[in-house]
């Protein structure tokens, strides 16, 4: 109870001192006003008129300018108005972003051989950047500098299987393999990526010594003949000339 | 009832906690220093008023803000007036390689997380028991596995399936711009809907309003004009590319031409021919938003 009293008393005292301060302020203002009025009375009427007119011009003009500027700017940048400049300035900011993918056809200016190969085969119509990624920086780099090769990588199997791994929904007309059952190691070991054509028979990836005959594991059905080109093999001697590492005929 | 006491009102008997000066002791001091305090307060108020006024002004006129911090952007000469940008997606051609999703992430610096995608690919599969499943593993950014990954589709054989690339439909009657409480998202003169990340407050209304699920709140800074995390983001049809006369990145990389883009105001253009001769249709026209991405193939035939 006494704590509450103390607080109440303190609040009352604060209030009364605030009242005192307000009273003093008011008195000071009144004195100032009286002084101003006394001074005004001593000024000649013509000077008074001139001063009043000048003051009115300055204050009125400034207010008018402020209103015009404020209203105009509010309208111009209002987020709620179709006519505001906000969409336009922002759209320009979006438009000013830098691309990372080069325009189609840029690559062929330097890489005409690869582009030409691709244009004549089943990969025709696929742009370079589909597999190679964004190449604008590469195309803009000055020849011989480190920027030319910065971030460049030979596409891996990951890129090939995106299209060629069989999956529900892919059209029959698209060449599809089951990667686990295809002769898979590196797609590029056998396929020319630009034409898509298999350029050599798949090489044997395991050791060739001390093994039973090839047909022990690889029956005629074992590695399915792609394109039905492969005859059934009865004899090891017929396998290895083509399939031993590095012995495949180049580019069929 | 306590009897009225003869003693004068007791002085506060409670000792204030240490560190607190009783108000009764301060009040006279306030009165004593009132003149200097008044002057001080006046100065303080003037400074605060001036500062807040300046802050308010620069908030009101954002054009004053970026002149000092960032160099002025290079604005390509581009006239949006009269453009009729049109996007046609051929769902019968799409093979679900996901290269468009990869290209979009790369081109627009969309956050690494595959759940936040400006474009994504869905696979609509009907299993042999007649059930329809839709899957889009990580938005299709790594392509698609052999069978549907939709919950419940495990072990079932897919009888028929097609891929449906999705992106912002840039609707004529766009609900996102209608619901934005601060008009941070708006339509440009050429019909592309953009987000002003400096105005966006990240409330997420537009994310909910979009019936095509094209929007998200970016968890990290995309390559938005000012790299703001926590604001709404979505496909812009690669506004920076199309305003330079290039194709959107997803169209550029599509290996099978399932995505077509162009200005249909030129009747001789490829896109105008496709629209005229093959009559592509929007997805879910019943939403009433008049989408400007049009589809061919099973996406509209079977939708």
Question: Looking at the predicted structure, is the pLDDT value of residue B221 above 70?
Answer: no
C-alpha dist (Å) from residue B278 to A41, A247, B251, B256, B275: 91, 51, 19, 17, 6
What pLDDT is attached to residue B37? 47
Residue B203's region, left for phi above 0, alpha for psi from -120 to 50, else beta, is: alpha
Domains of chain A: which residue ranges?
1-42, 45-97, 99-199, 201-252
What pLDDT is attached to residue B88? 97
Question: Nearest 5°: phi and psi at B104?
Answer: -65, -45
Q: Pick the more confident residue, B292 or A178.
A: B292
Tokens of A167: 């999956």
Q: Which of A85, A95, A127 sits opposite B78 (nearest CB)?
A: A95
What pLDDT is attached to residue A57? 96
Question: How close are the terminal C-alpha atoms of chain A, in Å?
Answer: 105
Taking an 8 Å cut-off on Cβ atoms, the answer to whether A97 and B13 are in contact is no
Say yes or no: A10 contacts chain B, CB-CB below 8 A.
Answer: yes
What pLDDT is attached to residue B71? 47
pTM: 0.69
Average pLDDT over residues A6-23: 95
CA distance B278 to chain A (A): 20
What pLDDT is attached to residue B46? 54
Q: In chain A, whose CA is at the least distance from the CA of B142?
A: A162
Q: Tell me the pLDDT band of A202, cut-offs 50, 70 and 90.
A: low
- Fill in the DSSP letter of residue B15: P
Q: Tell me the pLDDT band of A188, cut-offs 50, 70 and 90.
A: confident
Q: Which of A21, A95, A162 sits opposite B239 (nearest CB)?
A: A95
- For A100-136, the pLDDT digits (tens) are 999 888 888 888 888 888 777 788 888 889 999 999 9
Say yes or no: A23 contacts chain B, CB-CB below 8 A.
Answer: no
In terms of Cβ atoms closer than 10 Å to its own Cβ (0-12, 13-18, 19+), residue B198 is middle
Write out the DSSP string of B217-256.
E-SS--S-TT--TTSEE---S-HHHHTTTPPPHHHHH-TT
What pLDDT is attached to residue A77? 80
- For B117-141, the pLDDT digits (tens) are 999 999 999 999 989 999 999 999 9
Q: Pick the more confident residue, B185 or B28.
A: B185
- For B37-70, the pLDDT digits (tens) are 445 445 555 555 555 444 445 444 544 444 444 4
Lowest pLDDT segment from A176-185, A200-209, B12-21, B149-158 = B12-21
Taking an 8 Å cut-off on Cβ atoms, the answer to whether A130 and B255 are in contact is yes
Report the DSSP pairing between strands B185-187 and B193-195.
antiparallel
Question: Looking at the predicted structure, is the pLDDT value of residue B238 above 90?
Answer: yes
Q: Pick the more confident residue, A162 or B50.
A: A162
Average pLDDT over residues A152-156: 84
Task: Look over chain A and give the mean of its residue pLDDT values, rounded to a whole number.
Answer: 82
Tokens of B263: 């200005």
Q: Tell me the pLDDT band of B223, cut-offs 50, 70 and 90.
A: low
Average pLDDT over residues B87-111: 93
CA A1, CA A118: separation in Å to the nearest integer? Answer: 95
Task: Look over chain B and give the mean of its residue pLDDT values, rounded to a whole number.
Answer: 80
Compute the residue count for chain A.
252
CA B54, CA B74: separation in Å to the nearest integer? Answer: 28
Taking an 8 Å cut-off on Cβ atoms, the answer to whether A168 and B24 are in contact is no
Pick the residue of B17, B23, B238 with the most A CBs within 10 A to test the interface with A by mutation: B23
Pick the residue of B12, B28, B100, B238 with the most A CBs within 10 A to test the interface with A by mutation: B12
What pLDDT is attached to residue B263? 94
Question: Looking at the predicted structure, is the pLDDT value of residue A153 above 60?
Answer: yes
What pLDDT is attached to residue A26? 96
Q: Tell me the pLDDT band of B173, cut-offs 50, 70 and 90.
A: very high
Question: Looking at the predicted structure, is the pLDDT value of residue A178 above 90?
Answer: no
Taking an 8 Å cut-off on Cβ atoms, the answer to whether A89 and B63 are in contact is yes
Name the nearest CA neighbour of B153 among B171, B130, B173, B172.
B130
């Amino acid at each position: 109870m006494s704590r509450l009293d103390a607080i109440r008393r303190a609040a009352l005292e604060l209030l009364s001192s605030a009242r005192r301060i307000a009273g003093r302020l008011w008195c000071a203002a009144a004195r100032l006003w009286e002084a101003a009025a006394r001074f005004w009375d001593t000024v000649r009427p013509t000077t008074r008129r001139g001063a009043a007119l000048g003051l009115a011009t300055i204050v009125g003009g400034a207010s008018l300018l402020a209103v015009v500027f404020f209203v105009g700017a509010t309208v111009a940048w209002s987020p709620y108005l179709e006519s505001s400049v906000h969409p336009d300035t922002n759209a320009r900011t979006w438009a000013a972003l830098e691309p990372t993918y080069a325009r189609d056809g840029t690559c062929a200016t330097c890489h005409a051989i690869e582009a030409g190969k691709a244009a004549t085969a089943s990969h025709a119509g696929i742009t370079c950047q589909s597999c190679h990624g964004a190449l604008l920086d590469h195309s803009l780099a000055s020849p011989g500098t480190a920027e030319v090769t910065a971030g460049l990588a030979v596409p891996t199997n990951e890129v090939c299987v995106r299209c060629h791994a069989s999956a529900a929904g892919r059209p029959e007309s698209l060449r599809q393999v089951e990667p686990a059952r295809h002769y898979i190691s590196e797609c590029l070991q056998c396929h020319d990526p630009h034409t898509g054509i298999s350029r050599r028979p798949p090489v044997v990836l395991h050791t060739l010594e001390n093994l039973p005959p090839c047909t022990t594991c690889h029956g005629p059905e074992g590695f399915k003949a792609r394109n039905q080109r492969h005859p059934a093999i009865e004899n090891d001697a017929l396998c290895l000339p083509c399939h031993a590492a590095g012995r495949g005929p180049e580019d069929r | 009832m306590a009897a009225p006491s003869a003693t004068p009102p007791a002085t506060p008997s409670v000792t204030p906690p240490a560190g607190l000066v009783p108000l009764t002791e301060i009040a006279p001091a306030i009165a004593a220093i009132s003149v200097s305090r008044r002057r001080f307060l006046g100065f303080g108020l003037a400074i605060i008023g001036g500062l807040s006024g300046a802050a308010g002004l620069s908030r009101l006129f954002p054009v004053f803000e970026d002149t000092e911090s960032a160099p002025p952007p290079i604005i390509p000469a581009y006239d949006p007036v009269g453009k009729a940008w049109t996007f046609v997606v051929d769902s019968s051609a799409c093979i679900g390689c996901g290269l468009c999703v990869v290209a979009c992430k790369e081109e627009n610096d969309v956050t690494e997380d595959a759940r936040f995608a400006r474009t994504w690919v869905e696979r609509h599969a009907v299993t042999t028991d007649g059930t329809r499943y839709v899957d889009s593993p990580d938005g299709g950014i790594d392509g698609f596995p052999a069978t549907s990954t939709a919950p419940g589709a495990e072990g079932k054989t897919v009888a028929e399936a097609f891929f449906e690339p999705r992106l912002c439909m840039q609707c004529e009657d766009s609900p996102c711009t209608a619901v934005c409480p601060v008009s941070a998202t708006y339509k440009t003169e050429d019909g592309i809907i953009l987000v002003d990340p400096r105005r966006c407050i990240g409330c997420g209304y537009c994310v909910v309003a979009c019936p095509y699920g094209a929007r998200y709140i970016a968890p990290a800074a995309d390559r938005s004009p000012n790299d703001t995390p926590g604001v709404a983001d979505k496909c812009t049809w690669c506004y920076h590319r199309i305003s330079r006369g290039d194709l959107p990145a997803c169209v550029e990389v599509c290996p099978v031409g399932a995505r077509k883009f162009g200005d249909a105001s030129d009747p001789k253009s490829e896109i105008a021919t496709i629209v005229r001769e093959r009559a592509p249709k929007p997805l879910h026209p019943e939403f009433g938003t008049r989408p400007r991405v049009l589809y061919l193939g099973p996406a509209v035939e079977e939708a």
